[in-house]
Amino acid sequence: MTAAPRGSTEVQGRSELGVALFLGAIGLVVIISALLLPESRIARGPVGPAAVPIVVGGLLVVASIFLAIDVLRGGRGEPEGGEDVELGGGTDWRTIVLLAVAFLANALLIEPLGWPISGAILFWGSAFALGSKHYVRDAVLAVALGIGSWYLFVLGLNTSLPVGLLKGIL
């Protein structure tokens, strides 16, 4: 038996069954995790902390079953047909790698430098990776976003984010 060519309906069917299997597995993990939650001492009434996760997990399992039945009956998903989407184009690995570097730099620098600075690096690096050529404007906006988002989390949401080098200034 020869392998089905890439993009054929046979390969597409197998991948859609994989999505159904993945949905079912996620649903089962959610249900099992909900059933293993400890009993709440402050819960009153029949609805405990596991009620919503059990419902969501059950719905995921049901959706996965319906998707598998549809795929086995010959149903296929429609390929995306957006006006700005080049379906035959390849992956832009440069952009993906640059975005990954920006996120990794943020993760590594958030503790020593603080969120305002590491967030600014993340915002500027993301703009650079996505092709912006306005380096100075992007840097100013990145600093404003880094400081502004820090204040939003700290003052607006009462969440502690590291301030790092700007301790005593912010």
User: pLDDT (tens digit, 9 = 90+) per residue, 46-61?
Assistant: 777 788 899 999 999 9
Question: 131 exposed, middle or buried (CB, 10 Å; 0-12, 13-18, 19+)?
Answer: exposed
Taking only the tens place, the pLDDT of each residue in 61-105 is 999 999 999 988 887 777 666 666 666 677 789 999 999 999 999
Q: Contact at 8 Å (CB) between 63 and 21?
A: no
Tell whether the model's pLDDT for residue 6 goes beyond 60.
no
Report the range of poorest mean pLDDT among 81-85, 94-98, 107-111, 130-134.
81-85
Q: How much is the pLDDT for 162? A: 87
Instruction: Please state, in angstroms and rounded to a whole number, the distance separating the CA atoms of residues 91 and 100.
Output: 14
Q: How much is the pLDDT for 163? A: 87
Q: How much is the pLDDT for 1? A: 46
Q: Would you state the structure tokens that stand for residue 72, as one six-digit string? A: 């086995």
Q: How much is the pLDDT for 49? A: 78
Tell whether the model's pLDDT for residue 40 goes beyond 90.
no
Q: Contact at 8 Å (CB) between 117 and 168?
A: no
Tell whether the model's pLDDT for residue 120 goes beyond 90.
yes
Q: Which residue has the higher pLDDT, 21 or 46?
A: 21
Average pLDDT, rounded, for the chain: 85
Q: Which residue has the higher pLDDT, 148 or 1?
A: 148
Percent of the chain scoring above 70 in pLDDT: 82
Q: How much is the pLDDT for 81? A: 63
Q: Closest Cα partner for 149 from 111, 113, 126, 122?
A: 122
Q: In the chain, where are the structural domains located?
A: 9-38+49-72, 93-166
Distance separating the N- and C-terminal Cα atoms of the chain: 67
